[in-house]
């Protein structure tokens, strides 16, 4: 089988690390050149089966910088891009704003559920992606499709909510539908999952993930009320559609029993203490779970 490469373009959640208007402990550390914590860009994963053609899973507001930092994604001709396709897992700003970077008449395929596609349709700024060049393809839950030659992907609903900017009064916080999806990458007899946003881990989802070879999972907050405690916000993780890492009903405990080969937290909020060495980071690592960083690469042969 060919080698499949997974490249974390951006490990941070919306806002990135540091966030432009935040001076919390982590953001201050990421601005301090004497501190080993490096700045991290917003949530995206690139995947290739041949090293020449790449699919992006989510298009972050930092995409221009991410391409610049990633020689594999540089053009190889006067006008060219190795990016063949973009797949969106939801319509949050940190996952769609990078589409605006991909204007300039470059062909690629854009795969979304119908619900996420209609958010793009309703926002006329996305018309910068000229349909003469960018094919919008609607994907169905629980069906497979190929964002790249040689790569088969299945999408499925995970608990989540509509994008923040689409919220009306009292949004459903852990709805299972087309607004928030997980990605299954079928690599020969290996199964890899990319789930950067997930509000809960019901048994159906746990059963799906059981025995996976590799999982990239929502590591937004360590504790549900972390932003409130840090004084940086009034929302819990769950109110934002993200289950916490810690606690009896957190992801670390739930994933620990699923016999997953390698688990990596992604979409990590700038308030999350796992960015720095400390008890929270140690708890994650002691459970055998990794913390993503920009440029992290994992290959499956």
Q: Interface residues with Mn ion (CB under 5 A)?
A: 13-14, 92, 94
Nearer to ligand MLT, 148 or 265 (CB): 265
93, interface contact from Mn ion, Zn ion, ligand MLT, none, CB < 5-8 Å by kind:
ligand MLT
Nearer to ligand MLT, 85 or 89 (CB): 89
CB of 160 to ligand MLT, least distance (A): 9
For residue 197, state whether it binds ligand MLT (rule: CB under 6 A). Answer: yes
Do 229 and 223 contact (CB within 8 A), yes or no? yes
State the binding string over 149-178 for ligand MLT (x if CB under 6 A, else -): ---------------x--------------
Which window, 4-12, 59-67, 87-95, 252-260, contacts ligand MLT (CB under 6 A)?
87-95
Burial of 177 (0-12, 13-18, 19+ CB in 10 A): middle
Nearer to Mn ion, 85 or 89 (CB): 89
Beta bridge partners of 56: 46, 86
82, interface contact from Zn ion, Mn ion, ligand MLT, none, CB < 5-8 Å by kind:
none
Do 165 and 122 contact (CB within 8 A), yes or no? no
b/e sequence 183-217, b meaning 16+ C-beta within 10 Å: bbbebeeebbbbbbbbbbbeeebeebbeebbbbbb
How far is it, in rounded angstroms, from Cα 91 to Cα 114? 11
> Within 19-58, which residues bind ligand MLT (CB under 6 A)?
none
For residue 221, state whether it binds ligand MLT (rule: CB under 6 A). Answer: no
For residue 294, state whether it binds ligand MLT (rule: CB under 6 A). Answer: no
How far is it, in rounded angstroms, from Cα 112 to Cα 116? 6
For residue 241, state whether it binds ligand MLT (rule: CB under 6 A). Answer: yes
Query: What region does 15 belong to: left with phi over 0, alpha with psi -120 to 50, or beta?
Result: left
Q: In this structure, is the dihedral angle defined by the CA atoms of residues 163, 168, 169 and 173, taken in order, positive or negative?
A: negative
- Site residues, ligand MLT (CB under 6 A): 13-14, 92-94, 164, 197, 240-241
């Amino acid at each position: 089988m060919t080698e499949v490469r997974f490249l974390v373009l951006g490990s941070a959640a919306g806002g990135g690390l540091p966030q432009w208007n935040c001076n919390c402990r982590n953001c201050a550390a990421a601005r301090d050149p004497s501190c080993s914590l490096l700045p991290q860009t917003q949530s995206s994963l690139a995947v290739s089966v041949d090293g020449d053609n790449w699919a992006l899973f989510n298009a972050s507001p930092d995409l221009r910088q991410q391409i610049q930092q990633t020689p594999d994604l540089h053009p190889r001709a006067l006008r060219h891009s190795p990016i063949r396709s973009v797949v969106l897992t939801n319509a949050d700003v940190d996952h769609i704003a990078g589409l605006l970077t991909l204007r300039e008449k470059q062909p690629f395929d854009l795969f979304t559920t119908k619900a996420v596609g209609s958010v793009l349709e309703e926002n006329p700024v996305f018309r910068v992606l000229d349909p003469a060049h960018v094919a919008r393809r609607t994907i169905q839950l629980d069906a497979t499709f190929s964002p790249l030659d040689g790569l088969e992907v299945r999408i499925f609903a995970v608990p989540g909510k509509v994008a923040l900017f689409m919220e009306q009064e009292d949004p459903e916080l852990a709805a299972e539908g087309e607004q928030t999806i997980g990605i299954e990458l079928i690599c020969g007899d290996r199964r890899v999952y990319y789930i950067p946003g997930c509000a809960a881990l019901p048994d159906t989802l746990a059963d799906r993930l059981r025995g996976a070879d590799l999982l990239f999972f929502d590591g937004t907050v360590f504790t549900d009320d972390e932003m409130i405690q840090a004084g940086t916000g009034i929302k819990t993780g769950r109110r934002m559609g993200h289950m916490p890492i810690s606690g009896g009903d957190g992801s670390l405990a739930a994933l620990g029993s699923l016999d997953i080969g390698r688990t990596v937290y992604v979409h990590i909020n700038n308030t999350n203490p796992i960015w720095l060495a400390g008890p929270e980071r140690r708890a994650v690592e002691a459970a055998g779970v990794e913390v993503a960083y920009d440029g992290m690469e994992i290959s499956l042969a």
